[in-house]
Structure 1
Amino acid sequence: MASREMTSNAPGESVRYTLWQLVLYFLKLGTMGFGGPVALVGYMRRDLVEHRGWITEADYKEGLALAQLAPGPMAAQTAIYLGYVHYRVVGATLAGLAFVLPSFFMVVALGWTYRQFGGLTWMQAVFYGVGAAVIGIIAISAHKLTTKSIGKDKLLWAIFLILAVVTVVTESEIAWLFLAAGVVTWLWRAPPKRLGGGGLAAVLPVDVVHTGSFMATLDWTLLTQIGVFFAKAGAFVFGSGLAIVPFLYGGVVTEHHWLNEKQFVDAVAVAMITPGPVVITVGFIGYLIAGFPGACMAALATFLPCYLFTIIPAPYFKKYGKLPAIVAFVDGVTAAAVGAITGSVIVIAKRSIVDVPTAVMALLTIAILLKFKKLQEPVVVVSAALIGLVLYPLTH
């Protein structure tokens, strides 16, 4: 067991929390954290940086930047990195498991219910209310991230606006733009004295090479097919957990025909009404395909790449993260990430706000969270679900 006090990277700085306190925090966040990746990384900043002071602002920004640079779900990678900050690989592993496992068991239970009773007709009503409220929660989180991360820097604001607009127009997060934003900020603030020098290259993620389509010609068992497909999803999809949805649709519905259209839509609804990372919907999908073994294989295959893409470059972020070039690069990537997150609020809103009642619920959620700053998000989500159960039959 880790001791209460432990020397961190900064000389003379001691850790203000135990490993198990951090694990319990992520266990709670994974059990009660609603709102998708934008809201979840916002909660991490609010709780661990502002309220408890366990994580520094610099470490948080490094984690958010790395989560955007590497493929995989943003919220899970940020949690893994924050676990790594003071407790290295053990902390990263336990924080990641604590964050993911609660929602995994929830979606497996819902998968069992779905298969037993032939569908989740009530879930459409719940999602009708929750989807609208989630927009309000995400909007508040995006606003807080923007004000805290960008400040008054004109270059960062320009990057923020460009990424927000691109995300809204393309309805996707373009990985190379995050890199470009980091490089531009680096060159503007701390240009290298000569080309080819500097430590920036040490922290840039290594490109992953696609192994080719020859694997599709082999005779895989169903579980192995699930593992290969979901490993690709975890290794090649950048941005928030929501970015994985189009990739999953193409493989699960169109290519392999494992699920039909309605089942896939229900799977996305499950992801939105359960706490924890949105990408945990892979557990629900895996369960529908091959029961509990399928759920385990899909979840493991999806999260293993993002875990490795976090802990492998993390030491370089920690070692070189204070260099002016790296600080500038991280600031640029962070501004791009927050811009993309803000743009995704609009993208998600177009799917969740479908009529006047849902628009009113989203605006009311924003107003209530601004008025009652200590109100817990689960209370808002449960209230929205109950309202949805009442309103949905009346509006449909």
Structure 2
Amino acid sequence: MAGATLSSTLPPRSEVAPVTLRAALPVWARIAALSFGGPAGQIAVMHRILVEERRWVSESRFLHALNFCTLLPGPEAQQLATYIGWLMHGTRGGLLAGGLFVLPGLLAIMALSWIYALYGEVGLVAGLFFGLKAAVLAIVAEAVLRIGRRALKGPVMVALAGASFVGIFVLDVPFPVIVLAAGVIGYLGGRADLPPFRAGGHGASARDDGGPYLLGDEALPQERASHGHVPRVLGIWGTLWLAPVLALLVLLGPGDVFSEIAVFFSKMAMVTFGGAYAVLTYVAQQAVEHYGWLKPGEMLDGLGMAETTPGPLIMVTQFVGFLAAYRTPGGLPPLVAGTLGGLLTTWVTFAPCFLWIFLGAPYVERLRGNRALAAALACVTAAVVGVILNLAVWFALHTIFREVRTLALGPVRIDAPVLASLDPYALALALAALVAVFRLRAGMVTTLAACAAAGLVLRLLGAI
């Protein structure tokens, strides 16, 4: 039941008061409002509030949930909130925690999409986004190093990251193939107990002092898998997710922009593993190069929006869907079409996230401490470092140069800049952002604000 407490699952000497779903609501709202800074920052916020301050879940329970969510397609931070909400209060708790995590970003990105569509190519707004692109480049570069330091423990993991980068940047290997191969390698290595594959979970900012916690290591989740769990969850959430997709295909046909949005982002929800930055590689290349919904610079503008608003970075997909429908509105007013396209994108992006959690969480709770699963996670994370490096290079080329060409020789395909198209102002801003992030240790919000202000000044001076 939604309002049921967890007193029956607490360790006998626990000093943590039971929590109802109603009492949990403002805490999840607070987490949602503070969910800036990408998945690393969002996970750190959740860890501080849920483990250190509230002591709702133990360190090991938190890390086990995070390990599972990292292996899933889609945004790991939103899925982690859903998982812990489910762990505490069942399906209703998962819906509350996961839904609130998305809501602030949905509203903010929609408002910014309207502004961008109406004024994005005009005056100061164009200068604002010019500056944001440089800051985003520095933030993505910092993400490569941050995740690399955590994931690349030993030569095997470094080799996996390098092979991942070469595979996606040079050989155009599909991202899902890279992730699947890394996971299989890690799983087999873990099962064989080979030393390079002995991996633990994610690092945490706080030491586990053993409790007391509301949900300690031995406490059971409120909901457990019962007879018919799999077909019931698949039936409910599969219908909620895919019924709108099928309806659009039947009513509008596969060539309509709304059908394309529904199908593409539904496929994305099934194959994009490894966190937000890895997902964006796939989305950016498909939306820009295959569908032509927007330009590379506009993808960077959308990422700048997602970086400066609360919620998962994958909310940039709402901006993509908005522009796609806005520019091909059919018989609808462009802003109405764009709004519907953005909402459709968000629905088919996040509905599967609830499906994965509600379907798998009861079984994953039985796998805590599984060596092969931990090794598979470590290898996937190492491969994702290479994928994010590819994203950083791709963004850098399209930020600093106005023109990029694809060079092909057999299976080799490389994006190469046209040197004569170098944008000196973009290069200077990107270098300044890199110095701010790596040398001055400036925060993300500070760097974004400074670069946006610099872009405005350049626009006022007529330099861009």
Structure 1-normalised TM-score?
A: 0.73
Deviation of the 1:266 alpha carbon: 3.5
Long gaps (5+) in structure 2: 170-174, 196-224, 231-237, 326-336, 401-426
Over residues 34-66 of structure 1, what are the superposed CA-to-partner deviations in whole Å (9 max), with x where a residue is unaligned? 333344334434554456543333223322322
1:278-297 map, 5 Å: 278-288=313-323, 289=325, 290-297=337-344
Stretch deviating more after TM superposition (108-117 or 264-273): 264-273
Name the structure 1 match of 2:382.
339
Q: Return the letter of the residue paired with 2:106.
A: F
Higher helix share: 1
CA distance in 1, matches of 2:157, 2:17: 33
Q: How many residues get paired? A: 361
Name the structure 2 match of 1:315.
362
Over residues 185-230 of structure 1, what are the superposed CA-to-partner deviations in whole Å (9 max), with x where a residue is unaligned? 233179xxxxxxxxxxx9xx9xx9xx9xx99996635444432332
Distance 1:235 1:338, change over 3 A: closer
CA contact (8 A) 1:129 1:387 kept: no
> 1:382 is matched with which residue: 449, 455, 460?
449
> 1:234 is matched with which residue: 269, 275, 290?
269
RMSD: 4.2
Q: Is 1:220 the equivalent of 2:255?
A: no
1:81-230 map, 5 Å: 81-119=83-121, 120-132=125-137, 134-135=139-140, 138=143, 142=147, 146=150, 157-158=154-155, 160-169=157-166, 170=168, 172=175, 174-176=178-180, 177-188=182-193, 220=252, 222=256, 223-230=258-265
Over residues 253-283 of structure 1, what are the superposed CA-to-partner deviations in whole Å (9 max), with x where a residue is unaligned? 5555544555445334433443321211122
CA distance in 2, matches of 1:378, 1:22: 28
CA contact (8 A) 1:133 1:384 kept: no
CA contact (8 A) 1:69 1:179 kept: no
Greater radius of gyration (CA): 2
CA contact (8 A) 1:5 1:14 kept: no
1:33-52 map, 5 Å: 33-50=35-52, 52=54
Structure 2-normalised TM-score?
A: 0.64
Distance 1:68 1:218, change over 3 A: same
Distance 1:342 1:249, change over 3 A: closer
1:225-374 map, 5 Å: 225-249=260-284, 252-253=287-288, 255-259=290-294, 263-288=298-323, 289=325, 290-322=337-369, 326=370, 328-340=371-383, 342-343=385-386, 346-350=389-393, 351-352=395-396, 354=400, 355=427, 357-369=429-441
Q: Return the letter of the residue paired with 1:180.
A: I
Over residues 125-175 of structure 1, what are the superposed CA-to-partner deviations in whole Å (9 max), with x where a residue is unaligned? 3314531552476368537x82xx89xxxxx64554334333433355722
CA distance in 2, matches of 1:381, 1:7: 47
Long gaps (5+) in structure 1: 151-155, 191-201, 371-375
Q: Return the letter of the residue paired with 2:359.
A: I
**Taking every aligned residue pair, what percent have the same amino acid on both sides?**
24
Name the structure 2 match of 1:196.
none
Q: Give the 3-state SS of the residue equivalent to 1:161 in structure 2.
A: helix
CA distance in 2, matches of 1:56, 1:142: 23
